[in-house]
A and B are shown apart, each in its own frame.
Chain A
Amino acid sequence: MSVHQLINLEKVQEIVERHGYNKNKLIAILQGIQAVYHYLPAEALKTLSKLLKIPLIDIISVATFYRAFSLTPKGQHVATVCMGTACHVRGAPKILEEFERQLNIRREETTEDGQWSLETVACLGCCAIGPVVVVDGDYHAHTSIRKVPTILNKYRK
């Protein structure tokens, strides 16, 4: 995925319309934009600023505050390894390392072919099934180093 891919800004318009041009729904709108592009493209944010009449810097402040938003392109698939206390003591750091080895990137990075992004999170609220890894919204419970290739292959075509 190229950084300079032409983005279709009509999608932004659509999302904003769906939320009735409501400034208070900024986060929901940003989530919508992120769902379409897998990140928040600069052009989309500039358009959003004009549509919602919110200064661009305020949108950036919100977008950079939450870990869920990214200003740089993300991979097609996003693997999120929980590093919360419960998952940590059950070996999450080792699992994260295994992901790093398999994907040949470090945490918070994206592979060159744009297929995978690797992220961490501090507790997903389901410690009982830890160590937890989330890939594209699917929860993988009781993961271990050995399960990492299986998980990755599931999403590889």
Chain B
Amino acid sequence: MITMKMNGVEVKAEEGWTILETAKFYGLEIPTLCHHEGLTPYGACRLCLVEIGEGPRAKLVSSCTYPAEEGLVVHTDTKRVVQARRMMIELMLSVAPYSKTIQDLASKFGVTRMRFKIRNEECILCGLCVRMCEEQMDGKAIGFQNRGYQRKISTPFDLRSEECRLCGGCIYICPACQLRCQGPQAESALCNACLTMDPTCLDYYDELQCWMYDAGRCGTCVREKK
């Protein structure tokens, strides 16, 4: 058993756990994007950042890859963490503004501005698809290519891969492939509709009547708040 301090509370982690797993065990929520149970941690999106250590030597690490250590002091929601998290969301938005997952994160964490040039690359290089293909679908059909700003996901020679079984696992898991809601919204990098919109059914009923079980979050029935 490893004993650590998380947000001031003493917690116990099992050998081999990461900070994220420990936090989850204790019901502490840390947002993640490139992390998926059943796939190896990858540490690409930096959304799961937490602060470890104290004072001037405290630093940000990705909790999904950082192993639990004896005596570690972890803070999951410091000012620095929240700011870094917002920045990551903002950066991902600039790359894939059409992703519902990222738009939802923006609304959830109060990201209400996007100061970067929109690049519309529709891939945040989280590597989920690559790991899905290799680890769960036994495919090894897609992977990272090039480097730096030219880095991309593709099949060998950008052709239909002989290894691909068209299982669709890569599309299923991709956070950027899920298109953002098509409710009433302006064409902008930032949707924030769930913050400013109002489901219409509440005019008639006391409770949300969402038959999509999405509480108006899909944006279809909502209109701008008066």
Task: Tell me the A residues contacting B by CB distance below 8 Å.
Answer: 42, 45, 55-58, 60-61, 64-65, 71
Contacts and interface: CB of A to CB of B under 8 A. Distances in A.
A71 B146 CA distance: 11
Q: Which of B141, B143, B163 has the most CB of A within 10 A?
A: B143
A57 B146 contact: no
A117 B157 CA distance: 21
**7 tightest A-B contacts by CB?**
A57-B143, A55-B140, A64-B145, A56-B156, A60-B156, A64-B146, A61-B143
A27 to B, nearest CB: 15
Given A55-B163, A65-B147, A60 B157 contact: yes
A57 B140 contact: yes
A61 B145 contact: yes
A30 to B, nearest CB: 14
Nearest to B145: A64
B191 to A, nearest CB: 34
B145 A60 contact: yes
24 contacts: A42-B156, A42-B157, A45-B156, A55-B143, A55-B163, A56-B156, A56-B161, A56-B163, A57-B140, A57-B143, A57-B156, A57-B161, A58-B140, A60-B145, A60-B156, A60-B157, A61-B143, A61-B144, A64-B145, A64-B146, A64-B147, A65-B146, A65-B147, A71-B157
A45 B147 CA distance: 19
Contacts of B32: none
B142 interface: yes
Nearest to B134: A55
Interface string B137-180: 00011111111000000011100010100000000000000000
Contacts of A55: 140, 143, 163
Interface of B: 140-147, 155-157, 161, 163
Interface of A is mostly: helix
Contacts of B144: 61
Q: Which of A57, A64, A65, A71 has the most CB of B within 10 A?
A: A57
A133 B65 CA distance: 44
B141 A57 contact: yes
Contacts of A65: 146-147
A61 B163 CA distance: 16
A58 B147 contact: no
A22 to B, nearest CB: 20
